[in-house]
Structure 1
Amino acid sequence: MIVETVESSVFIGTANHGFGQQAQEEIRRLFGNEAKFSHVVPAEIFLYSLPVGKMDAISKVLEQEPMFLRHMQPVDVELDWDGSVAALQAWIHDSFQLTEGTKLAIQIRKTEQVSQLSTGECKKALDSVLTDAYAIVPVAKDAELILSVYLTPERAYAGISKPTDNLSDWAGGAIRFRKEDGQVSRAKFKLLESEVAFGLDFTQYRSAVDVGAAPGGWTSLLLERGIKVTAIDPAKLDAGLLKHPNLTFHKKNASDVVLQPDSFDLLVCDMSWSPRQMARLVKGLLHALQSGGTAIITVKLMHKKPFQTVRELLEDVEPELVLQKAKQLFHNREELTLFFIKS
């Protein structure tokens, strides 16, 4: 392993496209103005150097996880790269020492300008050299360590870390789900990713209300998990869901639906309304959510003032809802997903 310097560390940060500036601001708030940034892919991927060592930097980010920093990759070594696979193999072989038999995931990313090589070719070449040198076990999941490599036309960056230290064990935090036949909408991927990002298990819930449910992407997932779902929306729900025995559908505005107190242990809401309108609507339904119940809400960042938007939303829903975590997920676009517990 590379021995880090005590005084500083370097990382590659990744945010959703258009939100790199917000991710950098969060890092600056954690580490002060001595944090320095340079673009790799404008508004999305950036290098940042910090005035603390690698493990101290990782610990601080994990303790106060940013909303917009989706993925972080340590940069232990850099290479003035000539674009060849052989150069990468020699560099990685000489830069890292691994325990024999380590379960290692190698994640390769590159800019669009690196067109002469595929990430698959690079991964295969690095798997080969490390397997020969250390008898590593290349794995796609359940890795003990991740070797992250980022390629630009002139330079290559690499670092080794535990999967949890990267904020996501997917390359760049780009978590992928397979589209299913008959899937109602791609919005389902947001709730699937929420389950992973927030450490939830939807099979543990009994009864949920889905506010603004149409066309039914989130409702479909909750039904698959065995939950009884009350879906509310004046628009149409997917016809394939309507005969489900665990579904109750109110085709009307949420403000016109009477819900019994403490009826649900889960409330979800993914609506294209302004944040404050949505917050008022949700707050009017919180009597139906049990104490200790979970709320998963997406917030549309309509005016590109995300920090102010989140502050205002919290003012609107507190103290009934207590924020546990807020994250711009890979499957979010101009929005955030927030995880609350009912007080």
Structure 2
Amino acid sequence: MSQSRLFFSADEIYLHSAIDELRELYPDAALRPVGPDLGTIAAEGVSIAELATACRERPVVFVRHLFREVGSTPAAPTSLEDVIAIALGTWSALPLAPTVALQVWASGDVDAPFRTDELWHALADALTERGTDVARSGREQILTACVTTSGIIFGLNSLGSALTDWPGGRVRLAKPKGQISRSEFKLEELFRMGELELPSTGIAVDLGASPGGWTRILRQRGLRVWAVDPAELDPRIARDPDVHHIRTTAGDFLSTTTLKPDLIANDMRMAAELSASVMLSASRVLKPGGLGVQTLKIAPNQAMRTVQTALRMLRQEYEIVFVRQLHHNRNEVTVVLRRPT
């Protein structure tokens, strides 16, 4: 029996970095791009669950989403009806759960006779008629339909094997009322992932806080925040009695504070090695067992080298809990650190 193909998604600019990472994990695997943000890996004897575990444990930085192929259209589809027939024929032969998440997306600019939202609704209606309860997310079993220039790939796998509960790893967050800056999306996406135990009470320090976007998300989380920045905070966050604006630099604050925060956040725009140095200084302030959340700024031509150098530095004082280029990270990577107890 032939082995199912495994697919991975990454940011379009960093797909080559995702391929390089997986090649380090599986030197004998066949890896190739099949879309601008989609690749496939064929590694002898490696299941989707084993691949997901390896991605988490290494950790792999640029792979955002995984799925296992169970069928496909033979070529670019000519009609929605043809796609539904092939999809149902494929999925009906599998042990489907009573309730599933259905994820539909396109890799690249695909000239299809229907939109992806039309495909989602048509597939959902057809599955519902057959007695399957369909949701967009939050289910243990995921059915996927990824539209590419050479056809539609149908998948089935567990939530744990997908790395994320969003189609292709594309997290769509609506602009909330009161948003201060778009940088909030990065921290909100991290909190929404659900696989990390992040504090919801206690003290947080937001280094380089101005204008206050991350501070706002930390307050929503339930933390009292010390916002460190010489620049002004947005008035909407500055008047919060549980936000303490410390008008100084990160370096001066970390060298003089007596706080023992539960979490230190760092989204400052600086070179990755310098940002890592700031977090090494922060380790002396952070409560034992406390967490650090930071973004590392990268460039496409040396992304892996930049990240690996910064992580080597950070491991001097921290356990690396999580590293990934999230959907709302552009030229950067999100890292979660834990100070040893």
Normalised to the residue count of structure 1, the TM-score between the two structures is 0.90
1:271 to 254, 268, 271: 268
Q: Which residue of 1 aligns with 2:121?
A: 124
8 Å Cα contact 2:200-2:222 kept in structure 1 = no
User: Distance between the aligned counterparts of 1:84 and 1:163, measured in 2?
Assistant: 30
The structural deviation recorded for 1:63 is 4.3
8 Å Cα contact 2:32-2:41 kept in structure 1 = yes
Which segment drifts farther, 222-231 or 212-221? 222-231
User: Distance between the aligned counterparts of 1:243 and 1:340, measured in 2?
Assistant: 30
8 Å Cα contact 2:14-2:300 kept in structure 1 = no
8 Å Cα contact 1:108-1:148 kept in structure 2 = yes
8 Å Cα contact 1:261-1:289 kept in structure 2 = no
User: Distance between the aligned counterparts of 1:176 and 1:52, measured in 2?
Assistant: 34
Which segment drifts farther, 333-342 or 234-243? 234-243
2:39 to 43, 46, 49: 46
8 Å Cα contact 1:198-1:339 kept in structure 2 = no
Q: Which residue of 1 aligns with 2:310?
A: 313
- 1:152 to 2:162 alignment: no
Normalised to the residue count of structure 2, the TM-score between the two structures is 0.90
- 1:246 to 2:239 alignment: no
Q: Alpha-carbon deviations, 1:45-80, whole Å to 9, x = none? A: 223322225344444445444210001121121221
8 Å Cα contact 2:291-2:339 kept in structure 1 = yes
8 Å Cα contact 1:255-1:281 kept in structure 2 = yes
Q: Alpha-carbon deviations, 1:232-282, whole Å to 9, x = none? A: 112221121111111111222222235434521110000110112222223
User: Distance between the aligned counterparts of 1:191 and 1:265, measured in 2?
Assistant: 16
8 Å Cα contact 2:226-2:243 kept in structure 1 = yes
8 Å Cα contact 2:260-2:285 kept in structure 1 = yes
Mapping of 1:24-63 within 5 angstroms? 24-41=19-36, 44-55=37-48, 56-63=50-57
Name the count of aligned residue pairs.
Answer: 335
8 Å Cα contact 2:228-2:249 kept in structure 1 = yes
The structural deviation recorded for 1:139 is 1.2
Which segment drifts farther, 84-93 or 15-24? 84-93
Mapping of 1:262-341 within 5 angstroms? 263-302=260-299, 304-341=301-338
Q: Which residue of 2 aligns with 1:137?
A: 133
8 Å Cα contact 2:205-2:228 kept in structure 1 = yes
Calculate the aligned-residue CA RMSD, in Å: 2.2
Listed as ranges, the gaps of 5+ residues in structure 2 are: none
8 Å Cα contact 1:71-1:172 kept in structure 2 = yes
- Residue 94 of structure 1 aligns to a residue whose secondary structure is helix
CA distance change for structure 1 residues 273 and 80 in 2, over 3 Å: closer, same or farther? same
Q: What one-letter code is carried by the residue in structure 1 that aligns with 2:174?
A: R
Q: Which residue of 1 aligns with 2:69?
A: 75
User: Distance between the aligned counterparts of 1:275 and 1:60, measured in 2?
Assistant: 25
The structural deviation recorded for 1:307 is 2.4
User: Distance between the aligned counterparts of 2:199 and 2:328, measured in 1?
Assistant: 22
8 Å Cα contact 1:109-1:150 kept in structure 2 = yes
